[in-house]
């Protein structure tokens, strides 16, 4: 069942339910009003009988009928009885007899008014005291409310037919209303169908409004922004990774083909083997970097985390980089060394965190001038542990800063420097895995600053 059909049916059901309740209310209200009005008419009839018959010294029935006709007080199937204090019938008007019980007469003689429904006949009895004769009488007026019953039958018919017609109109109106209400959704669906992997630049219109559909379109556009960015990063990754992997393979194949073109001396073969070994080591580094990026993409719940001293991992990373780069000068300082050593504790996987710090330090060493100083500062506050690594290297262009976390991306001004573009992307994945953040700030020919923040765990 389509949403349009569901909306139409739901709208019709709700409206029909309200309409039926309203019709029942009208019918019940009219029923009680007519019943009350008819009882009041009977009561007035009983009072007229009491005043005309008793106060006028028991006028004849003919005179009584003339008085009623004069005041237009005739009721259908009317019967009026008057009883004296002994319960004797002293006056009767109308054809037929009333089934009057002794209990009813007794209640009237006690001064109570009586209203009863006896076999579709409404009965009203009132006590009346004749001041002239000093005697108590009981006046009972009875009639059948034929007109009200006919009116109620007509009202039922009108309400039933009206409800059925209203339901039909509501179904038609609901169908049109649902179409109008779903028109923006239909428009969104048509626009989404036009978007493919090659058309991620397209966006949904009508996303600037304040209603829910505009909010949905805005959210979908933001998702498309992320997808477009992810596809762009993927293209950059594939392009740069292909280039980085192809370069050592091409060099190895070239060296081997040249070596096999003619017989050569042992020294030449040894040179070729060393060159091939260097390229093979380069491929190994690239493969290890890809494996580390894959490992850093795992779910945090699947990686063992322990309480680790943040500063100890930083110092260990600095020592490891010094072993790899003999000329590196790394200076590690505390900006605010806490008195309580427990404030230096963070929840982390030590080996992965060490890899992230090493990569940041190595990047700073590679892009710094010879014998350049690398400054590392540890800052501790109540909520996080922070490491700021600064170099005085070549820096990064502003337009390249947004791509520094794309694997294998390398800025144009560092193409001549050895590297693969894996370090910072790997560090970012590891830091995010630890619920931390990493930021890069740089200025061309001034230097670069990398800020790593991890949540404290003390």
DSSP code at position 451 = E
| pLDDT tens digits, one per residue of 425-457 | 878 888 888 889 999 998 887 888 999 999 987
Q: What pLDDT is stored for residue 374 in this prediction?
A: 86
- pLDDT band at residue 116 under the 50/70/90 scheme: confident
- Mean of pLDDT values over 181-201: 72
- pLDDT band at residue 370 under the 50/70/90 scheme: low
Which H or E element spans position 214?
helix 212-260
- Mean of pLDDT values over 14-31: 87
CA distance 209 to 218: 9
The answer to whether residue 196 scores a pLDDT higher than 80 is no
- Residue that is written with structure tokens 């050895």 in the block: 418
**Tokens (6 digits) for 419:** 């590297």
Residues sharing a CB contact under 8 Å with residue 227, sequence separation 6 or more, in sequence order: 200
Q: Check: CB of residue 318 under 8 Å from CB of residue 277.
A: no
Statement to judge: residues 311 and 449 lie in one domain: yes
Range of the domain at 411: 302-455
Statement to judge: residues 23 and 81 lie in one domain: yes
Which H or E element spans position 64?
helix 61-70
Q: What pLDDT is stored for residue 386 in this prediction?
A: 92
Q: What pLDDT is stored for residue 71 in this prediction?
A: 47
Statement to judge: residues 107 and 252 lie in one domain: no
Average pLDDT value over all residues in the chain: 77
Nearest 5°: the CA angle 451, 457, 458 is 120
In a domain, 403, yes or no: yes
- pLDDT band at residue 9 under the 50/70/90 scheme: confident
In a domain, 450, yes or no: yes
Statement to judge: residues 93 and 217 lie in one domain: no
Statement to judge: residues 118 and 255 lie in one domain: no
Task: Write down which residue in 294, 324, 343 finishes a domain.
Answer: 294
In a domain, 186, yes or no: no
In a domain, 220, yes or no: yes
Pick the more confident residue, 35 or 418: 35
Residues sharing a CB contact under 8 Å with residue 330, sequence separation 6 or more, in sequence order: 318, 321, 322, 361, 365, 374, 376
Q: Check: CB of residue 411 under 8 Å from CB of residue 400.
A: yes
Statement to judge: residues 64 and 147 lie in one domain: yes
For residue 453, give the nearest of 349, 364, 353 by alpha carbon. Answer: 353
Q: What pLDDT is stored for residue 452 in this prediction?
A: 93
CATH number, residue 252: 1.10.287.130
Cα–Cα distance list, 90 to 80, 257, 453 (Å):
11, 143, 110
For residue 76, give the nearest of 145, 7, 150 by alpha carbon. Answer: 145
Statement to judge: residues 275 and 359 lie in one domain: no
Q: What pLDDT is stored for residue 385 in this prediction?
A: 92
The reported pTM is 0.45
Q: Check: CB of residue 392 under 8 Å from CB of residue 369.
A: yes
CA distance 307 to 327: 33
* pLDDT-above-70 percentage for the chain: 78
- Give the alpha-carbon dihedral of 399, 404, 406, 408, to 10 degrees: 110
- The order of strands in the sheet holding 373-380 is 329-334, 373-380, 384-390, 447-455, 437-443
CA distance 441 to 436: 17
- Mean of pLDDT values over 322-341: 82
Q: Check: CB of residue 76 under 8 Å from CB of residue 144.
A: yes
Lowest mean pLDDT among 55-64, 191-200, 306-315: 55-64
Q: What pLDDT is stored for residue 67 in this prediction?
A: 55
Which H or E element spans position 288?
helix 266-296
In a domain, 96, yes or no: yes
In a domain, 170, yes or no: no
Q: What pLDDT is stored for residue 425 in this prediction?
A: 81
User: In three state form, how does the secondary structure of 352-380 look?
Assistant: HHHHHHHHHHHHHHHCCCCCCEEEEEEEE
Which H or E element spans position 173?
helix 146-193
DSSP code at position 19 = H
- Mean of pLDDT values over 105-132: 77
In a domain, 338, yes or no: yes
The answer to whether residue 300 scores a pLDDT higher than 70 is no
Statement to judge: residues 136 and 272 lie in one domain: no
- Mean of pLDDT values over 38-62: 68
- Residue that is written with structure tokens 């060099």 in the block: 251
For the chain, the domain total comes to 3
Lowest mean pLDDT among 57-66, 201-210, 215-224, 314-323: 57-66
Q: What pLDDT is stored for residue 418 in this prediction?
A: 59
Pick the more confident residue, 114 or 385: 385
Instruction: Among 82-96, 237-251, 257-271, 404-418, name the most confident range.
Output: 257-271
Q: What pLDDT is stored for residue 72 in this prediction?
A: 46
Task: Write down which residue in 237, 268, 294 finishes a domain.
Answer: 294
* pLDDT-above-90 percentage for the chain: 5
- Give the alpha-carbon dihedral of 359, 364, 368, 370, to 10 degrees: -60
| pLDDT tens digits, one per residue of 269-289 | 888 888 888 778 767 766 665
| pLDDT tens digits, one per residue of 51-100 | 766 665 554 555 555 555 544 456 777 777 788 777 787 777 777 777 77
Residues sharing a CB contact under 8 Å with residue 82, sequence separation 6 or more, in sequence order: 49, 50, 53, 54, 89, 90, 91, 92, 137, 138, 139, 140
**Tokens (6 digits) for 119:** 């076999």
Instruction: Among 100-109, 179-188, 443-452, name the most confident range.
Output: 443-452
Pick the more confident residue, 402 or 165: 165
DSSP code at position 83 = E
Residues sharing a CB contact under 8 Å with residue 265, sequence separation 6 or more, in sequence order: none
DSSP code at position 442 = E
CATH number, residue 74: 3.30.450.20
Residues sharing a CB contact under 8 Å with residue 212, sequence separation 6 or more, in sequence order: none
Residues sharing a CB contact under 8 Å with residue 398, sequence separation 6 or more, in sequence order: none
In a domain, 183, yes or no: no
Statement to judge: residues 268 and 340 lie in one domain: no
CATH number, residue 396: 3.30.565.10
């Amino acid at each position: 069942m389509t949403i349009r059909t569901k909306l139409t049916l739901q709208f019709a059901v709700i409206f029909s339910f309200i309409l039926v309740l309203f019709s029942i209310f009208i019918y019940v209200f009219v029923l009680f009003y007519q019943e009350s009005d008819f009882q009041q008419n009977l009561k007035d009839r009983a009072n007229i009988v009491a005043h005309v018959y008793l106060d006028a010294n028991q006028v004849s029935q003919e005179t009584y009928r003339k008085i009623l006709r004069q005041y237009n007080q005739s009721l259908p199937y009317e019967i009026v009885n008057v009883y004296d204090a002994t319960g004797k019938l002293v006056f009767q008007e109308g054809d037929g007899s009333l089934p009057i019980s002794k209990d009813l007469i007794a209640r009237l003689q006690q001064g109570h008014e009586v209203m009863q429904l006896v076999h579709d006949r409404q009965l009203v009895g009132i006590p009346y005291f004749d001041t002239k004769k000093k005697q108590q009488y009981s006046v009972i007026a009875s009639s059948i409310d034929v007109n009200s019953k006919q009116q109620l039958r007509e009202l039922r018919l009108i309400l039933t037919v009206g409800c059925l017609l209203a339901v039909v109109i509501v179904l038609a109106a609901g169908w049109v209303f649902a179409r109008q209400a779903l028109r923006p959704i239909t428009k969104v669906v048509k626009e989404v169908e036009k978007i493919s992997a090659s058309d991620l630049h397209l966006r949904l219109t009508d996303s600037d409004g304040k209603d829910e559909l505009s909010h949905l379109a805005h959210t979908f556009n933001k998702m498309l922004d992320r997808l477009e960015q992810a596809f762009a990063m993927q293209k950059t990754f594939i392009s740069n990774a292909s280039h980085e992997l192809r370069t050592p393979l091409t060099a190895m194949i070239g060296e081997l083909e040249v070596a096999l073109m003619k017989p050569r001396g042992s020294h030449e073969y040894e040179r070729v083997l060393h060159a091939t070994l260097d390229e093979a080591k380069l491929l190994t580094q690239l493969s290890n970097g890809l494996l580390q990026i894959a490992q850093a993409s795992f779910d945090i719940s699947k990686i063992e985390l322990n309480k680790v001293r943040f500063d100890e991992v930083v110092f260990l990373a600095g020592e490891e980089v010094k072993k790899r780069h003999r000329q590196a000068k790394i200076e590690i300082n505390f900006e605010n060394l806490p008195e309580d050593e427990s404030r230096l504790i963070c929840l982390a996987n030590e080996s992965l965190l060490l890899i992230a710090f090493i990569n940041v330090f190595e990047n700073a060493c590679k892009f710094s001038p010879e014998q350049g100083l690398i400054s590392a500062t540890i800052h501790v506050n109540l909520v996080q542990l922070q490491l700021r690594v600064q170099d005085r290297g070549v820096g990064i262009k502003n337009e390249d800063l947004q791509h520094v976390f794309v694997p294998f991306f390398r800025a144009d001004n560092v193409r001549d420097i050895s590297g693969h573009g894996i370090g910072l992307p790997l560090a970012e994945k590891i830091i995010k895995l630890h619920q931390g953040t990493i930021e890069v700030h740089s200025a061309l020919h001034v230097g670069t600053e990398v800020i790593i923040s991890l949540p404290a765990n003390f």
